[in-house]
Structure 1
Amino acid sequence: MTYEIIDTTLLDPVARPLLDALEIEYATRYREFRPDSSASASEEMARYPAELFAPPEGAFIVVVLDGKTVGGGAFKRYDATTAELKRIWTHASQRRQGLARRVVQELEARALRQGYRRVYLTTGFKQPEATELYLNAGYEPLFDRSIAPEVHFRLPFGKDLLEPGRTDSLEDLIQHEPLGVR
């Protein structure tokens, strides 16, 4: 299997399968917590303009296999030294094979080249495989793990790219209150 990594934009037709699948996944996973889950998912996907995910402050990649989009992700500027990962996705047929980890690594490398020294992200509490991915990739939970994840709703993580494992550089990103449903 040879994956092709393409630097592109959210407006490129090759990105459409990723964006459409993410919207369906968000709506499905959170249906019991948001009666308007389809509308909420659609709103989330339209929340940020495409240009935020373009250089010099952002990036968007897709992973193509045999002409089909099977993964991808993006980052945008969070602050002057921090990139915020967004839209990490892999096709169901490609999961549990290391592709999401590769997407994260590709995005981290681009963030470093673009001058960021750390990464921030949030994932939803109904996405335990994403939580596992980020923990295994060296991300530090920036929330109180003794509180049930559904209380937080969104689970923030951070990573120092220059010194992975260093946590004192992430202190200003720590959430002191649960990120509950908003």
Structure 2
Amino acid sequence: MQDIKIKSAGFGDPAVQSLVAENLRDLSERYGGSGDDTPITAADFAPPNGDFLVAVEDDRLIASAGWRRHGDDAELKRMFTTNAARGRGLARRMLAAVEASATAAGCKRMILETGDRQPEAIALYESAGYVRIPDFGHYAGHPGVLSYAKPL
């Protein structure tokens, strides 16, 4: 995995949007519909109020994780690893990188929403120290939504 580079990328970049579309297809397969209707814009991930990170291997984007300000917190969005890159510890590296980015921007806590049909994500977040919190954001009150937080 030493050949994998994690770097900031513009959310509007066509290669990033292609990876995001793959993420949304994965969510759609799990949950139906469009996968995630959360309103997101490229400006959400613009420093100093956010950042969008990608993992690059052989000039291909294979993972992503972004954060945007949500009050005093950083909200994790679009955490995703392609099927071909799974099982190599990359999601944990991406999570650590996005947490470091939010910490550097002065955020004190990372919050996130996930769903009950993403057991891999739930296991990752809980093993990384995230704990359940009351639901917030776009999917607050929806069945199957799980919200988590971790101090940074």
**Distance (Å, rounded) in 2 between the aligned partners of 1:105 and 1:153:** 26
2:65 alignment partner, SS class: strand
Q: Among the aligned pairs, what percent are the same residue?
A: 36
Matches within 5 A, 1:39-118: 41=35, 43-44=37-38, 47-80=39-72, 82-118=73-109
Contact kept? 1:14, 1:62, Cα under 8 Å: no
Aligned CA-pair RMSD: 1.7
**Distance (Å, rounded) in 2 between the aligned partners of 1:92 and 1:24:** 12
Letter in 1 for 2:63: G
Q: CA offset at residue 89 of structure 1? A: 0.3
1:115 alignment partner, SS class: coil
Q: CA offset at residue 143 of structure 1? A: 5.3
Q: CA offset at residue 26 of structure 1? A: 1.2
Q: CA offset at residue 42 of structure 1? A: 6.3
Higher-RCO chain (CA-CA 8 Å, sequence separation at least 6)? 2
**Distance (Å, rounded) in 2 between the aligned partners of 1:56 and 1:140:** 26
Letter in 2 for 1:130: A
**Distance (Å, rounded) in 2 between the aligned partners of 1:42 and 1:75:** 16
Structure 1: state its 5+ residue gaps: 32-36, 145-150, 162-182
**Equivalent residue pairs, number:** 145
Q: CA offset at residue 17 of structure 1? A: 2.8
1:153 to 106, 119, 144: 144
Letter in 2 for 1:19: V
Match status 1:130 vs 2:131: no
Larger Rg: 1
2:15 alignment partner, SS class: helix
Structure 2: state its 5+ residue gaps: 136-141
Superposition TM-score, scaled by structure 1 size: 0.75
Letter in 2 for 1:4: K
- After superposition, the C-alpha distances for 1:85-107 in whole angstroms (9 at most, x for unaligned) are 00000011111211011111000
Quick check: which one's strand share is greater? 2
> Once structures 1 and 2 are overlaid, which stretch shifts more, 135-144 or 1-10?
135-144
Quick check: which one's helix share is greater? 1
- After superposition, the C-alpha distances for 1:10-63 in whole angstroms (9 at most, x for unaligned) are 1112312321111101111012xxxxx13xx3644xx11110111001000111
Match in the other structure for 1:165 = none
1:155 alignment partner, SS class: strand
**Distance (Å, rounded) in 1 between the aligned partners of 2:126 and 2:134:** 13
Superposition TM-score, scaled by structure 2 size: 0.89
